[in-house]
Amino acid sequence: MLTLYGTSVSSRLLLGTARYPSPAILAEAVRASRTDIVTVSLRRETVGGKAGGAFFELIRTLGVRVLPNTAGCHTVSEAVLTAKMARDVFSTDWIKLEVIGNHDTLQPDVFALVEAARILSGEGFKVFPYTTDDLVVAERLLEAGCNVLMPWCAPIGSAMGPVNLPALRSMRANFPEVPLIVDAGIGRPSHAATVMELGFDAVLLNTAVAGAVDPAAMAAAFTGAIDAGRIAFHAGMLEPRDMAVPSTPVIGKAVFS
Partner 1 sequence: MTFIINGEEQQVAAVTLADLLTALDYEGEWLATAVNGELVHREERSGFSLGERDRIEILSPMQGG
Interaction of residue 17 with partner 1, rule CB under 8 A: yes
Q: DSSP label at 219?
A: H
Interaction of residue 84 with partner 1, rule CB under 8 A: yes
Report the candidate in 118, 44, 56, 58 with the shortest Cα–Cα distance to residue 92: 56
Interaction of residue 26 with partner 1, rule CB under 8 A: yes
Interaction of residue 206 with partner 1, rule CB under 8 A: yes
> Which span sits near partner 1 by CB under 8 A: 79-87, 145-153, 212-220, 225-233?
79-87
User: Taking the CA atoms of the chain, what radius of gyration do you get in angstroms?
Assistant: 20
Q: Answer yes or no: are the C-beta atoms of 96 and 146 closer than 8 Å.
A: no
Q: State the catalytic residues.
A: 96
Q: For residues 19 and 231, which CB has a smaller minimum distance to partner 1 in the complex? A: 19
Interaction of residue 40 with partner 1, rule CB under 8 A: yes
90-119 footprint of partner 1 as x/- string (CB under 8 A): x-----------------------------
Interaction of residue 123 with partner 1, rule CB under 8 A: no
Q: Measure the CA angle with vertex 194, ends 181 and 198; round to 5°.
A: 65
Interaction of residue 42 with partner 1, rule CB under 8 A: yes
Q: Checking DSSP bridges between strand 65-68 and strand 181-183, what pairing results, if any?
A: unpaired
- Listing DSSP states for 133-152 in one string gives S-HHHHHHHHHTT-S-BEE-
Q: Answer yes or no: are the C-beta atoms of 181 and 201 closer than 8 Å.
A: yes
Residues lying near partner 1 in the complex (CB under 8 A) = 16-20, 26, 39-45, 47-53, 55-56, 59, 68-69, 71, 77, 81-82, 84-86, 88-90, 156-157, 206-207
